[in-house]
Amino acid sequence: MDNKIIITAAVSGSRPTKEMNPAVPYTPQEIIDAAVDCHKAGAAIVHVHVRDPETGVPAYNMEYFKIVLEGIRERCDMIVNLTTSGLNLTGPNAIQERLGPVFLKPDICSFDHASINFFDRPFINSPEWAETAAQAMRDAGVKPEIEAFDVGHIHQANDLIKRGLIDAPPYFTLCMGVKWGVGGTPEDLLFMKSKLPEGALWSVLGVQRFQLPMITMSMIMGGHVRVGFEDNIHIRKGIIARDNAAFVEMAADLAERLGRSVATPAEARKILGIEKQA
């Protein structure tokens, strides 16, 4: 399994719109179809945000999450990762609302455990949220995908791991090139990788123009990769991607050229140490 590479497809995110690229999925059915197409192209994992079907505005709606989760599972064996970012949630019950996707029992939930300033807003993740979410995922048997936008995020995650709130092996996604986070240079990625705990599993995403160089470096260094509309809508400079599957096809072809075999969902489960949810 050492040579296998896991490709994750982040098919919608919360920022890209149909005005930017008409292929951006909004409705639950569009998201399901995009995931299945990515599975056929070689993606083992789909990372899911949901939208208002009419406007495309981010919608932290448990019914939409449930429809997407069940719809993907009906059509393929893809590993499903539901976001818990809840970027737009506020108020006294925000933590419990953010935990909603965990209780749907996906295979993985994204775990944003540390705060960062995005270019137009703060993304606040309090220590209380981090501890509560880590414990909830552990109790539910849902593997956290630890998203690290800077080196301090790795240090904070390491503390949670040492305290037994995250089971081994921890699974990190190094988020490269996000404005006000860590940069998207080879030196940045080498530094972030050097701070991961021993035995950690890791994947890399690069946003926009950083996507191709960052996933290429990850492949060479033995890591896994994430692609898709959440991170980039251009398949190459100035050319809008046909769909999410086009990114997966590109990543799979690049991996094969670099001597890495693309993992199936079953192989990815073994690598990540996760059981198939009922």
What's the pTM value of the predicted model, to 2 decimals? Answer: 0.96
Contact between residue 175 and residue 149 where contact means Cβ atoms under 8 Å apart: yes
Domain assignment present for residue 140? The answer is: yes
Asked if residue 90 has pLDDT above 90, the reply is no
Domain assignment present for residue 265? The answer is: yes
Model pLDDT, residue 118: 87
- Element spanning 143, H or E: strand 143-148
36: domain CATH number is 3.20.20.70
Domain assignment present for residue 278? The answer is: no
Domain count, the chain: 1
Task: Kindly report whether the peptide bond that precedes residue 169 is cis, defined as omega within 30 degrees of 0.
Answer: yes
Q: How confident is the model at residue 1 (pLDDT cuts 50, 70, 90)?
A: low
Model pLDDT, residue 278: 59
Q: Tell me the per-residue pLDDT of 24-75, one tens digit each, with 9 for 90 and over.
A: 999 999 999 999 999 999 999 999 999 999 999 999 999 999 999 999 999 9
Domain assignment present for residue 277? The answer is: no
Q: Tell me the per-residue pLDDT of 130-166, one tens digit each, with 9 for 90 and over.
A: 999 999 999 999 999 999 999 999 999 999 999 999 9
Query: The domain containing residue 164 runs over which residues?
Result: 4-272
Give which of 217, 201, 218, 223 is closest to 269, Cα–Cα.
201
Domain assignment present for residue 77? The answer is: yes
Q: Tell me the per-residue pLDDT of 181-215, one tens digit each, with 9 for 90 and over.
A: 999 999 999 999 999 999 999 999 999 999 999 99
Q: Tell me the per-residue pLDDT of 160-184, one tens digit each, with 9 for 90 and over.
A: 999 999 999 999 999 999 999 999 9
Task: List Cβ neighbours of 20 (8 Å cut-off, separation of 6 or more).
Answer: 233
Mean predicted lDDT score pLDDT of the chain: 96
Task: List Cβ neighbours of 183 (8 Å cut-off, separation of 6 or more).
Answer: 176, 177
